[in-house]
Structure 1
Amino acid sequence: MHPNLFPAYFIFFIISVHVHTSLCAENEQYLNCSTRVQCANMEISYPFWGGNRPGYCGHPGFELSCDGDAPEFTMMEVSYRVRDINNASRTLTVARADFWNDYCPQKYINTTLNVTLFSYSTWYPRLTLYYGCPPSIQGLPHAFICSSGTTNITGYLATNDTTLVTCNNSLTVPVSQSAADAIENSNGSSIGLLTAALNNGFGLVWAANYSLCQRCVASGGQCGYKSSTNEFTCYCRDKPYASTCQQKAFFFFFCSFFVSFNPKLWLRVTNLLSSAFGIVAVIYGMISCIKRKFSSAKTDDRNVEAFLRSYGSLAPKRYSYSDIKKMTNSLACKLGQGGFGSVYKGEISDGHLVAVKLLSELKSNGEAFINEVDSISRTCHVNIVTLLGFCYEGPKRALVYEFMPNGSLDKFISHKESPNHENLNLEWKTIFQIAVGIARGLEYLHSGCTTRILHLDIKPHNILLDEDFCPKISDFGLAKLCQRKESIISMTGARGTVGYIAPEVFCRNFGGVSHKSDVYSYGMLVLEMVGGRKNNIDVQESNASEIYFPDWIYENLEQGKCQLLLQVTTDKEQEIARKMIIVSMWCIQTNPSNRPSISKVVEMLEGSLQSLEIPPKPFLFSPIMSGQDSSTQLVS
C-alpha cells in the first residue's frame, strides 16, 4: 500500500465499517415499515399499525385490532370499525362497533373525536338515542325496544335537539345527511333506517405528521414514530433520521472499495477533487460576499426563497407570473377586492377552477407571504381552504387557492349590499352548520396541528363557502405560529380588523394575546350571522349610532326577541338562534379567561340549549364608534 494513502484508507475503512454496521442494525426497521401488512380485510400503512405491523411503524392513537372481520380502533373509550381507508386523501370511513347491526349498546358514551388526531371529513348531523324512557311519548314516532336480561327497555330516536328529561340515558352519534333526512321523513318504523345509518358510519380525516411523512417518503424513507422520545422518525436504509434520509452510505462504500482496488489512481482522484473543491470554495466565497453586499435591499426576497427551499419538493406548486396571467385570462374576471389586493377567477391546466389572490405591490411583504404559505401548508381540514400554488416573481406575488363557488360569507350577512337585491337569505339550518364548521376549523388550527396556529383575522370576508355551503377559513396573512403549550404569544402592536379584534390585541391591559383572541373574533362573527347585518349596527332607531351591536343583541336575548333578528318562523329556528347568541356572548367576554376554548364552543353548539347558561353582559365600548369603517384593518 502506498504510504501516503494509509490515513485516507484508514478513515474510509472506519467510516465504511460504521455505516455498514448502522445499515445492518437499522435495516430491519426500514424493511418492516416499508411492507404493507394485511389487517383483517385491508392493507394498512403509516400512520396505522397493529397485527404484524410493529408499533414503531405507526403513530400513537392509530393502533388497529386485526382479529375480527374488519380492523377496529379505540378512541375516547369507544371502539370503531374501519370500513375503508383512503391513503391518498387521508380519510377513513368508520362505524361505531357497539352499534354494528345493533342500536342497544352496553355503555352510553357520546361519539367524541380526539381532535389532535382526527377531524370530520364533512359536516355530519347527529342522532340522539334515548334509553330507559316511558313507553309512549307524544310527538316522537321513532321508538324501539332494547332487551336487558329479562327486561325490555324503551328507547327513542331524535334527529334534532329535543331533550327527553324523562329518559334515563342518552347518547349522540353522527350519521350522513341523507340517512338523517330519510329517518326524519319516514312515517312508519325507522328501525331499519337507523341500523343502516349506524352501519354506514361517517368519514374522518387524519393528521398524523402529514408534512413530515411526505418529506420522509420523498427522501426514500419510511414513516414511523419513536415512543421513547415521543417524536416522528424517518426510518432509512442506513439509520433513523428526524425527518428525511441522508443518503451517504453508498458513497462511503464506493470510496472504501476504490481505495483498496487502485490506490495510485485514487491518489490522483483525491488531488483533483481537492483542487476542484478549492476552486468551488473560492467561487462560493465570492458569491457570498456579493450577496451580503446587496442583502439590505433584498431581505424579503432572501427570506422567502430560504423559506421555500426549506420546504423542498413539498412546497406548493410555484407558478410564474405569465402562468398567473394565462390561468386568469389576463385577470379578466375579478371576484373581489381587499386591503391585501384583488382576487381573480382562474382555471388551471387540469380544468379545475381556482381563485388567484394577487397581492398588492405596495402592501405585500415577505413576512405576510411567508405567514400565509407556511401556515396554510401545515393544514389539511375540511374547514380550511386549500392552497394549490403560488407566484413569487420580483414584486409580483400571488396565491392560488381552490375555487369557492359561493364566495365569502360576507355577502350573505349584509343583504342590502348584494347586487340587484338578489335573495341571499340562508336557512337557519345552513347558518348553524356554517357556524359549527368555522368553529371546527378553528379547533383544528388551535389543537389539531403539530404547531398551534392563531389566525388573528377571523371575519366574514375570510370565510369562504363551497357549493354545499361548507365553510372554509382563508387568508392567513396575519397568522401567528406557536407551540401548543404556549398560552400567551409575544406580539408587538395590534393586528386584525376593527369590529372583530379582541380587546387584548389592541390593549394589553385586558390580558395577553392567545387562542382566546380568535374565540372573540369568532363570537363577533356569529353575532353577525344571527343578526343578519354588519356589526356596526343598522337598526331603525334615531340613536342607532350610539348602540353597540352586542348590546343590542344581548337586550334581545334577555327579552326573548330573537324574532327581531333574521326571520324566525319555527320553534326550531328560535332554538338555533338563541343557542348561537348564548355561545357567541360567551365568546366575546372581555376577560380572555372567561371565554371558552374553541373546543368547548363546538361542544356547546352541538349540545342542548337547556344545558347553556346565559353569560354576563360584556362591558366593553364599541371600537366602531365615530363612524369608523368595520373593514379597517390594523396590522403591525
Structure 2
Amino acid sequence: MSIFTSLLFLLVFCPLLSFGHRLKGCEDSWCRNDGPNVHFPFRLGHQPKHCGYPGFELQCNNQKDTILEFPSSVRLVVEEIDYASQQIHLYDPDKCIAVKLPQLNLSQSNFRNVKDPAVLFNCSTPFKGLYNYYSVPCLDSSGYEVYAVSSTTGLDSFLSGTCTKIHQYPYSFSTFVQNKLQLNWLIPLCGNCESKGVDCGFKDGTKLLETHCFNRTITTSKKPLIAGVILGTALVCIIVFSIYQLYLTSKNDRESRVRLEKFLEDYKAIRPTRYSYADIKKITDDFKEKLGEGSYGTVYKGRLSSEIFVAVKVLRDSKGKGEEFVNEIGTIGRIHHVNVVRLVGFCADGFRRALIYEYLQNDSLERFILLVRSSPDSVSVISWNKLQHIALGTARGIEYLHQGCDQQILHFDIKPQNILLDHNLNPKICDFGLAKLCSKEKSAVTMTAARGTIGYIAPEVLSRNFGKVSHKSDIYSFGMLLLEMVGGRIKMNSKTKNHSKLNSLEWIYTHLEKGEELKIRIEEEGDSTIVRKLAIVGLWCIQWHPIDRPSIKEVAQMLEGDGSHLNLSPNPFMATNTPKFDASPQSEDLDVILEIE
C-alpha cells in the first residue's frame, strides 16, 4: 500500500511543485484539475490583489468551473487561456450566448474582440439559402426566427426576403455557431514573457500597473518538465508491472485484493454522489420520461450508464430551507438494507434540488392495489403468497430502521405509494422526507406538528390524548397498509347499496369476529389462511393506543408464522379501555425524548 502511495505522490504532487515559483500566495491555481491554469495577469478571487492585474479576477462556482464576470454582471465560463497570444476562450453554460451579448460592454473591460462582426436577422418564414448563416433558436419569438449571418457573406438574400436586420454585433459569426467567445487583451503585455518561458508580474511584486518579465526561482522550462514526466511515467510502468507479476504469483494477495475491491464497492454503494443540475438533465435526457408526479415534485427515469437505470425525483418546493431534502439525504444516505431503497446521489445546485434513487421497474405497491381494485373479476397479478412476501419484507425494512441503525429512524409516512417493488417484487421502503432520528435507548419523540398521509397517520400524531409519538406510530401506518392490501381484494357486490361498508375496516373486523370468511378472491389453496393472518396482524397494528400495538419485531414474527395461533385483536373502532397486546415487551409507559435534528 505504501508503494502505491509513493507512486501517487510522484505522479500527481511532484509535478505540481514546479509551479511554486511565483510570489507567496500567487502560485498557479485552477478551479479543477482539467480547468484552465490561472496565473498573472489573472488571479482567483481568494488570492491577494497583487497576484493579478486589475480587471482580471476569476471565480470558481459550485461546479468548479472557472468564471469571468464582466462589469455588466455577465458571467461566462473560461474554457482556455492562451497567455502567449493573450487570448481567452469563453462559453455560456446556458447554451445561449446570444442573449448575453447585448449586455456585454467590452469598453468597460480589458478585453477586445477583433473578429469580423456578425449580423442578426429576424425572419417571418424559415430561411433557406447557400450563404453562411446560423439559426439562433433561443432568440426566436412568436412567428419569427432569428438568424446570425457573417458580415463577409452577401446579405442581399436576407434583405430582399421576409427578413429584417435587427442588430450588428461586434462578435464573429462563430460565436453564435459554437456558443463560444474569443477575446484578446492588450494590457498588460505579458505575451513575450510567456514565449520566453519566464514569469510576468508587477515590477516590485505589489506595485500596480507596472509589469515586467523576471526569471523564475525554480526552473519550469517545458523541456525538463516533459522529460521528468516521461521518466516518471516509465518508472511507474516498471513498478506497476513488477507489482502485477507479484500479484499473479501470490494467492493471498489476490484474495486480499478481491476483499478490498468488494469493500470499496460496498462503501461506494452507501455514499450518495453529488451531481450538478447539468448532470441531472443529461441523466434524464432532458427529463424525457416521467414516471410519476406528486406534491413533492416529479420523478423521471434516468440512466447512469448503458446498464444502470435510476429514478430522479426533482423537488418542486425547492426555494425554502429544504428541510425534507436535507433530512432525506441525511437519513437514507447512511443506511443500506435489502428492503430500503438505495439513494444513489443528489443534486443541490442553487435552488434546484433532486434525489437520485435506484430504479425499480415494478413501480409501487399502490399501483398493484389500484389495478386489482379496478378489475375485481380479473385474475390477480400478484398472488396472496407474494403479497405475504411483500408484507414481511416491508416489516423487515421497518425493523431495520427501528433497531438496525446506530440511531432509531422513524419513517412517519409508511403507505403503499412508498413501498417500491423490484423485478422480483421484493419490497423497498422509500421517501424519507418526513423521517426523524431518535436515540435507541428512548422510545418516544416530541413533535411540533403532525406529519404523514391522511388515512395512515397514527392517532397520537394528530392528538396527544391517544399517547406519545414513538416507533409505534410506524406500526399503525404499517397496519393500515396491510388492511389496504386485504381490503383492495374484497369482492364488490353490485346489489349492495353501501359499497363503502364492504371496504371499511370495521366490516373486516366484524366478519373475523363472527368467524365468517371474508369475501376475498381466493385463487390457490392456503390463500384463506394468508388473508386471515394479514387482516389480524393489521388489526393489532392499528390499535388506538400505542401501548396496545406490537413492536415491529413481533409483527415480523407473526407474519413469518402460519397464523393458526393468532388471536383476534380487541376492536380498534371502540373507544373503550382495551387489553394490551400480550406479547409486547414494552408494556411500560414510553419516555419522551427530543427528536435528533
TM-score (ref. length: structure 1): 0.46
Larger radius of gyration between Structure 1 and Structure 2: 2
TM-score (norm 2): 0.49
Name whichever structure is richer in helix by fraction: 1
Which fold has the larger relative contact order, with Cα–Cα distance below 8 Å and residues 6 or more apart in sequence? 1
